[in-house]
Chain A
Amino acid sequence: MNPANAFQNPIQIGIIVKDLDTLLANLKDILNVDNFRIASFPPEGADAPVRKYHGKDGDFSAKFCFYNWGNIELEVIQPISGDSVWFDYLKTTPNAMGIHHIKFMVDTHEETDAHFAEKGIMEITSGEGVGPNAGRTWKFFDTYDKLGFDVEMLNEIVTKKEEE
């Protein structure tokens, strides 16, 4: 595949942080960034979404915040529990925060999965989308040491669960 087709348009910059509330207050103070959409993952009261960590079933949770800058979305994630790429990042980064990933959207995952597998890039963490991303799957790929950030992929085409 020609990767340029899949990665021509970054849609999100993702920050991982240990203390979400302090970061949000600082973003407002310095950049006047406010009115975040805040969500928990998994959402309270919903069925537990499928989650994977290094290919095995995962059981992790996090708090998410989203802000639309217009040209690109800002996401802030505070990992709460369980093994995930987000906790791994916090262990290695100074200040207990930093920009961790850039996100891209593709119609479906098949070709980009195959592309990264061919390049020897591992999928680190993935999960079933919730809220506005219900029916989609997000996946983080371990590109940090090669690119200076991890790549997150999200499929645009929603797949409906088969009726039981």
Chain B
Amino acid sequence: MYVTDKKKLLNFKKKIERGYRMEKSAILSECPVQIGIVVPSLEKAMERAKELLGIEGFDIKSFPPEGCDDPKGKYHGEDEDFAFRQCTFDWGNIQLEFLEPIRGRNAYVDYLKEHPNGGIHHLQFLTEDHEKTAQFFQSKGIKEMLSGTGMVPGSGKCWKYYNTAPLIGFDLEIVNKVIK
């Protein structure tokens, strides 16, 4: 009855892998790897995703990650002690993420002030080098809004949000692929 074309799905997955295997000269992966939705309640979001879309089995994590002494949280360039909860689901060809802010100043709280019921806040792309992407965005006059250490302690990863919503309708989250 439904579209369950495994060949198509496999092709999509190959494209995602290609996104991870970026050309050396590329600043960002060639395709987005995650759709990020900010919500007022993670529990309600997961309940509704299950009821309406049949999605369940989310991977739930918190920030700061458990056992992390230095989460390196920054809000508009200043040190900030913020916290949020996150759940992710591998959705065929892209990852789905729900985010619920818990405390502190952060981009998710700001988003909910303008969208009280939540909404699609960002698309995530990968980079091999945060310094190069930071320089690129700086050259465009685009500011970093929020950053922090990766959700898995010790992974060496770092995520950064850039305020591109006024220009393209969504913010960009950039995560480094290469561990330094």
Whether A107 contacts B2 by the Cβ 8 Å rule is yes
Of chain B, the residue at the smallest CB distance from A96 is B169
Tell which of A27, A30, A94, A151 has the most Cβ of chain B within 10 Å. A30
Report the minimum CB–CB distance from B153 to chain A (whole Å): 28
Whether B169 contacts A71 by the Cβ 8 Å rule is no
Query: Is A31 an interface residue, CB under 8 A from the partner?
Result: yes
* Contact for B164 among A4, A30, A144, CB less than 8 A: A30
With an 8 Å Cβ cutoff, the count of chain B residues facing the other chain is 53
Whether A95 contacts B48 by the Cβ 8 Å rule is no
A-B contact count, CB below 8 Å? 147
Report the minimum CB–CB distance from B2 to chain A (whole Å): 4
Whether A99 contacts B120 by the Cβ 8 Å rule is yes
Report the minimum CB–CB distance from A2 to chain B (whole Å): 6
Of chain A, the residue at the smallest CB distance from B44 is A146
Query: Is B58 an interface residue, CB under 8 A from the partner?
Result: no
Report the minimum CB–CB distance from B16 to chain A (whole Å): 5
Query: Is B142 an interface residue, CB under 8 A from the partner?
Result: yes
Of chain A, the residue at the smallest CB distance from B49 is A147
Report the minimum CB–CB distance from A110 to chain B (whole Å): 9
- Chain A window 1-44, contacts with chain B (Cβ cutoff 8 Å), 1 for yes, 0 for no: 01111111111010111000001001101110000000000000
Main secondary structure of the interface of B (DSSP, over half): mixed
Query: Is B154 an interface residue, CB under 8 A from the partner?
Result: no
Whether A13 contacts B35 by the Cβ 8 Å rule is yes
In Å, the complex CA distance between A17 and B53 comes to 26
Report the minimum CB–CB distance from B162 to chain A (whole Å): 9
Query: Is B65 an interface residue, CB under 8 A from the partner?
Result: no
In Å, the complex CA distance between A10 and B169 comes to 19
In Å, the complex CA distance between A27 and B18 comes to 21
Interface residues, chain B, with chain A CB atoms under 8 Å away: 1-4, 8-9, 12-13, 15-16, 18-19, 28, 30-33, 35, 37-39, 45, 48-49, 51-56, 91-94, 98, 114-115, 117-120, 123, 125, 140, 142, 164-170, 172
**Can you list 19 contacts pairing A with B, beta carbon distance less than 8 Å?**
A2-B54, A3-B54, A10-B92, A27-B168, A31-B28, A69-B15, A69-B30, A70-B15, A70-B16, A70-B31, A71-B31, A71-B32, A71-B94, A98-B120, A106-B1, A106-B3, A107-B1, A119-B51, A121-B52
